[in-house]
Structure 1
Amino acid sequence: MKKIILAATLAAFGAGGAIAEEMRVGTASLGGAFYPIGQGISNLVNKYAEGDISMVPVVTGGSVQNPRLVASGEVEIAITNNNLAKLAVAGKGPYSAGALDIKAVAALHPSVLHMITLEGSDIETFEDLKGKRVAVGPAGGGTLGFLNFLLPLHDMAVDDITPSFLSYADGFSQLTDGNVDAALALSGYPAGAVMQASAGATLNHIGFSEGKLEEALAANAAYNVVTIPADVYGTAADGTVIGVNNMLIAPASADADTIEAIVRAVFDNLEEFKAENANARQITPEASKTLAIPLHEGAARYFGE
């Protein structure tokens, strides 16, 4: 966590060298959607939040790690998804060591599991990943959680692939360089890493064999189906992918006035956010009232609950 603290400390220095206290928003690895979303949230908070509040985005392991970072105080606020937040407060799954005392702050954009290979590859469905070299995202990120969910549904295990634990940017660079056969990324779309790969190569979505996507959705009600239009990444066909909604989280003990000021800075200026970030265009205020864990008191004030 030294890198997280260092990033926040360096960002706190102003032009005159003075240090101001800043809140750190945990995002994910570079190349996905979390970091730009965190940057956009920080920009709005720094511009519009009432009171002495400022914010800086920091790179983290991603949606699995972020609830732990919030609970331990290593970041003050962070992005995760509905499914992981629910597991975190229940002390289940990756958080079986103990329930985490976190609350929801706001609903964000949905993330989808990009499963991508190059044109001409013999990988067409998830089962075809068996025996292949696969960039699976960073350890602690949400992509690996999705992979561990999907593998048993296909009678597979991690040992059936050769995984590379890389940032999304590095993973998709390795794909276009031919060093891996497929790359995965749990991200909103368009994802920066996938866009970069599509600039120099023709990509194909990896799909699901008949009945498997429906089986996955039946196994976890937090997941949903999302269609990525072909023109997003220049693929030959639309991608039918599995996805999950994201949320901003904070410690249950966080000051309610501060949380309300953050939410107000973002959602009172949502159109500005949408104009600057394609993923933000998928954010709706109403979704914050139907999250998988309870809203923080400060957020509930804003959303009227």
Structure 2
Amino acid sequence: MLKSKTIIIFVLAMSLVMGMLSFGIAAEKQFVAIATGGTGGTYYPLGGALAQMLSNNVEGLIVTAQTGNASRANCNLISRGQIETAFSQANVTYWSYSGTGIYSNEPILTNLRGIASLYPETIHIVATKASGIKTIEDLKGKSVGVGAPNSGTAADAEIILAAHGITFDDIKVDYIDFNEVAQRLIDGQIDAGFTTAGFPTSSIINIATKRDIVLVPISPEKSKELVEAIPYYGATVIPGGLYKGVDEDVLALATPALWICDSKLEPTLVYKMTKALWEHRDVLEKVHSQGKNITLETALGGMGIPLHPGAELYYKEVGLIK
């Protein structure tokens, strides 16, 4: 009888110990989110793949990707402590951090920190052929989707239009995301729309399968003017044949996409996430063609805000920072 009681006590004690260990293991889990963009852009698929890859390769870390309005909205989420990391355009991130540019009258978001520069985001200006729009000047008086409120696309639209002497008061503005731009163009409810995303972007592919479209070019003169005036803009070309019905190359502007985070994140955690990104970046290449442009050699390109100390440590280890 005594032996049986001893065995029972031993089993109960072991169960208690195992339960405490299990609780300890569960308590060690860390949860991080990545704010991406709408489902019709490039942030969304790459953000989802990055979240899964980090969860698979950083022990004890669970990462989720969240849709959103992107760029400035994502910067605001980090600033308010509502999300840990996000994707954002380089120019918008720099203006948000420094309180300059189009955000000179907005709160300065000083807790933004950089993890990596990812790939170029190209500013597409897409219109239906039926609209008769061929140049940016032709947008005056038209119905134009300029991106979601507080998005990088809306900022790009405002800047590019202003360079051509057009304000939002001169057009019929629709603050709508990529998917809504696509649907309204297909339905004939708007004439044109702006989309800033790594090409090819699914929303424009969708439009081109259902309507005859044109991609409106920026002139070489205006491109040069804006590249010289606006931080982190660069000239690029949208290749002919990328979208149905657009057979010629189209001159456009681009800006780097950044992965950014809250300065309050632990350096060890950010170091591990940065290391995982560059050791498993091939996962991203399988999800979207822009994944091939996510390279260690360009990891610091267009980084207009301070690096997070955890990311900086990794780049020093691999010799990218001396």
- Larger deviation, residues 286-295 vs 140-149: 286-295
Question: Which of 61, 82, 86 pairs up with 1:78?
Answer: 86
Deviation per residue, 1:18-45 (Å, 9 max, x gap): 9975211111122011111110110111
Matching residue of 1:178: 188
Larger C-alpha radius of gyration, 1 or 2?
A: 2
CA contact (8 A) 1:111 1:244 kept: yes
SS for the counterpart of 1:189 is: coil
Q: Report the RMSD for the aligned CA atoms in angstroms.
A: 1.8
Show the 5 A alignment for 1:20-35.
Answer: 22-35=31-44
Matched residues in 1 for 2:219 and 2:109: separation?
A: 36
Q: CA deviation at 1:210?
A: 5.6
Contact 2:76–2:109 (CA<8 Å) still a contact in 1?
no
Paired amino acid for 1:172? A
2:91 maps to amino acid: N
Q: Is the 8 A contact 1:135 1:183 kept in 2?
A: yes
The 1-side partners of 2:147 and 2:226 are apart by: 20
1:110 aligns with 2:145: no
Task: Give 1:69's aligned residue.
Answer: 77
Measure, in 1, the Cα distance between the counterparts of 2:281 and 2:109.
32
Aligned residue among 22, 28, 46 for 1:37: 46
Distance 1:210 1:49 in 2: 45
Which of 123, 129, 144 is the matching residue for 1:134?
144
Contact 1:91–1:100 (8 Å) recurs in 2: no
Aligned residues with identical type, % of pairs: 23
Q: Give the one of 224, 230, 248 matched to 2:259.
A: 248
For the residues of structure 1 that align with 2:80 and 2:220, how far apart are their CA atoms? 43
TM-score by length of 2: 0.84
- State the match for 2:65 in structure 1: 57
1:275 matches 2:286: yes
CA distance 1:122–1:210, change in 2 (3 Å): farther
- Secondary structure at the counterpart of residue 106 of structure 1: strand
Q: Deviation per CA, 1:218-276: give whole Å up to 9, x if none.
A: 21141001111112112131121111001111111210111111112221011222122
CA shift for structure 1 position 88: 2.0
Q: Report what 1:12 is aligned to.
A: none
Matched, 1:295 2:304: no
CA offsets per residue over residues 145-169 of structure 1, 9 Å max, x none?
A: 0112122211111011101111201
21-30 or 70-79, larger mean C-alpha shift: 21-30
- Structure 1: 5+ residue runs without aligned partners? 1-17
- How many residues end up aligned between the 2 structures? 287
